[in-house]
Structure 1
């Protein structure tokens, strides 16, 4: 379908928003990118990668974007399913026998994608060093007793999503999640040097440090008894803060619950879920529609709010204008990447300042400006 779009207006308006946010001090460094019908529409940036007086942030600067990377993990799983390497309704324990412990033998790949396995919890005293130890964390997750019977409820598996699906991928392909992402997703799309789980050491210098801008205070204000604080983030050392994300050991670790990327690479990935991008399409139209359809719709037991979820993606988030034909994932502090099936549009925002969701309007302002220009 041919769409009318005022590309110059999109770029001018997005540049005005980005520059204004940085000039006001509300943001320190931002990237925004969009594709329309498989073609680049926007690739913009503003601010500094190292704070005032530091090096400029560019379109090629890498930015750790926390759970935005879950969308990359889900995409990898769907690509493997498209190739017949896994099945959504196969028990995870078929691929990873140790995972069957404590009644998890019936938990399926579908349950993992919809946060329904029942194992969102981390060991209470887990440390950042342990978080970065793949074998230790996979063993710890496999040994956990589910908080609910798998498949009977959905509750955000903030960290454990990565190990559950990542180890499943490793058992199936024989590749680490980072290597599997490269082989099956990023190399075909030409973004293997811009979208990662764990970074190669050579890429640390390209990665912008994150700064706190209200996100840590938001986490601190959550009562320790709420499920997210009690189970998903049980101690401060593994909160998704700038302090954690700026550790080299963390950035180098293969952690598919998060991701480090540029906005233009993330937007390109989602564009390739909607259609061809330079001759490459990651999934068939039928597979994309299935993955992005409503699989779960109700109260999330960890987030304590109603959410619609597809298979590994959130649907209708505020930056998506609440439209359930849009699917993707956001990250702690306000980054996001998603695709809008109705408009043939993909959008990604990365940011170096981690902000509270209570005051954050940046992604919505930018995505609204782009949507308004697409007819």
Structure 2
């Protein structure tokens, strides 16, 4: 077997045992887990295999597609631009991107985009992966498109469109492509394995990603034949029809393809390991500091926790509290949200990727948790909640 490697504080022995057992029994193929508390890396573990055929052991620098976990780092980059005076979350998107004002979108603010309340959760269908890969063309389509609701009045997860929207905002505000900003201003200074848009010389570090063996159906509205669908149900269905993630065909083939790995979709195609993802996010938990570098001011971090929407998110048909750039944990009791295991916290933000990867920041307790794996999981077979509980129970 490929033995578990890395380091951990002895109080997290139960966490190490859980990960080791999951790798031994096959619940995990290859995985990495990371915990930072008060700026100290108290757990950094990895192990398993990059392929089901057990060809390459998972190494310290192995990376894997973290899907929508990418959004957490993209949002961090935009907050850094806010701190530098390049961007204002309360300014209209059209202030930076004039073409965006088409079809009545003059009142869409940057924070609406970052909180999934902008009214552009997808493209008008039909839409395909090939359309999305034409970054200029697909971004221009979003600029020309009318919003699906009045901005700020409801939330519906912008699963596929988020990356295109924030990438263009970042480029217009800073003059630097978002992938380059993340590389030079976040990943390289923090020695963090997080890459948006892989080069061919990096492919040999990538673990093969496998779809869930028993994939749970994507959350979708169920509408009785004898009634009209609700507005939320209509938005959810329309989003799926206009999202490239719903047109990809065989996920095993697509998500391991050169074409996918080279894309710089800032909402879905980032590649990382738990350490890389976690190092990026630790600034949110430590007053803006990460590995001796100041990424953010406390004022910028406070923006994350400015609640923008709360209640049933149309895409998920589940309750989500949206801050600016991140979802926020429930404040009083657990809810059946996207991560139902998440414990309440006054200043906890998070997001996750298809199959289980996740980044969670408890700024109140200065804790950062990250997880990345190559065997996607679903439903009761997901391991992310078990790791989360084991980590918090060890404190």
Which residue does the alignment assign to 2:305? 292
Counterpart CA distance in 2 for 1:113 and 1:220 is 22
Instruction: Give the superposition deviation at 1:203.
Output: 1.0
Query: SS of the residue aligned with 1:297?
Result: strand
Which residue does the alignment assign to 1:255? 265
Query: Kindly tell me: are residues 111 and 220 of structure 1, through their superposed partners in 2, closer, same or farther at Cα, counting changes over 3 Å?
Result: closer
1:236-255 counterparts in 2 under 5 A?
236-238=246-248, 241-255=251-265
Residue-by-residue CA offset, 1:234-276 (whole Å, 9 max, x unaligned): 4742479443321211111111012211110111111122223
Counterpart CA distance in 2 for 1:91 and 1:337 is 29
Query: Kindly tell me: are residues 130 and 339 of structure 1, through their superposed partners in 2, closer, same or farther at Cα, counting changes over 3 Å?
Result: same
Which residue does the alignment assign to 1:363? 384
Which residue does the alignment assign to 2:393? 372
Query: SS of the residue aligned with 1:212?
Result: coil
TM-score (norm. length: structure 2): 0.86
Which residue does the alignment assign to 2:16? 15
Query: SS of the residue aligned with 2:247?
Result: helix
**More off after superposition, 205-214 vs 218-227:** 218-227
Residue 274, structure 1, aligned to residue 285, structure 2 = yes
Query: SS of the residue aligned with 1:299?
Result: strand
In the alignment, is the contact (CA less than 8 A) between 1:35 and 1:345 conserved in 2? Answer: yes
Residue 231, structure 1, aligned to residue 253, structure 2 = no
Which residue does the alignment assign to 1:321? 343
In the alignment, is the contact (CA less than 8 A) between 1:29 and 1:48 conserved in 2? Answer: yes
Please, which of 356, 359, 367 is the counterpart of residue 345 of structure 1? 367
Counterpart CA distance in 2 for 1:274 and 1:129 is 38
In the alignment, is the contact (CA less than 8 A) between 2:152 and 2:308 conserved in 1? Answer: no
In the alignment, is the contact (CA less than 8 A) between 1:60 and 1:262 conserved in 2? Answer: yes
Instruction: Give the superposition deviation at 1:8.
Output: 1.0
- Find runs of 4+ consecutive structure 1 residues off by over 6 angstroms: none
Query: Kindly tell me: are residues 79 and 120 of structure 1, through their superposed partners in 2, closer, same or farther at Cα, counting changes over 3 Å?
Result: same
Query: Kindly tell me: are residues 103 and 328 of structure 1, through their superposed partners in 2, closer, same or farther at Cα, counting changes over 3 Å?
Result: same
Runs of 5+ unmatched residues, structure 2: 1-7, 224-228, 330-338
Which residue does the alignment assign to 1:211? 210
Counterpart CA distance in 2 for 1:13 and 1:52 is 28
Which residue does the alignment assign to 2:275? 264
In the alignment, is the contact (CA less than 8 A) between 2:349 and 2:360 conserved in 1? Answer: yes
Counterpart CA distance in 2 for 1:143 and 1:215 is 39
Instruction: Give the superposition deviation at 1:187.
Output: 2.7
Counterpart CA distance in 1 for 2:22 and 2:240 is 31
Which residue does the alignment assign to 1:50? 51
Query: SS of the residue aligned with 1:359?
Result: helix
Which residue does the alignment assign to 1:336? 358
TM-score (norm. length: structure 1): 0.90
Counterpart CA distance in 1 for 2:81 and 2:250 is 29
In the alignment, is the contact (CA less than 8 A) between 2:80 and 2:295 conserved in 1? Answer: yes
Query: SS of the residue aligned with 2:380?
Result: coil
In the alignment, is the contact (CA less than 8 A) between 1:292 and 1:310 conserved in 2? Answer: yes
In the alignment, is the contact (CA less than 8 A) between 2:18 and 2:387 conserved in 1? Answer: yes
In the alignment, is the contact (CA less than 8 A) between 2:37 and 2:366 conserved in 1? Answer: yes
In the alignment, is the contact (CA less than 8 A) between 2:220 and 2:315 conserved in 1? Answer: no
Query: SS of the residue aligned with 2:11?
Result: helix
Query: Kindly tell me: are residues 137 and 46 of structure 1, through their superposed partners in 2, closer, same or farther at Cα, counting changes over 3 Å?
Result: same
Which residue does the alignment assign to 2:95? 94
Runs of 5+ unmatched residues, structure 1: 1-5
1:100-249 counterparts in 2 under 5 A?
100-191=101-192, 194-214=193-213, 216-219=215-218, 226=233, 227-232=235-240, 234=242, 236-238=246-248, 241-249=251-259
Counterpart CA distance in 2 for 1:239 and 1:110 is 33
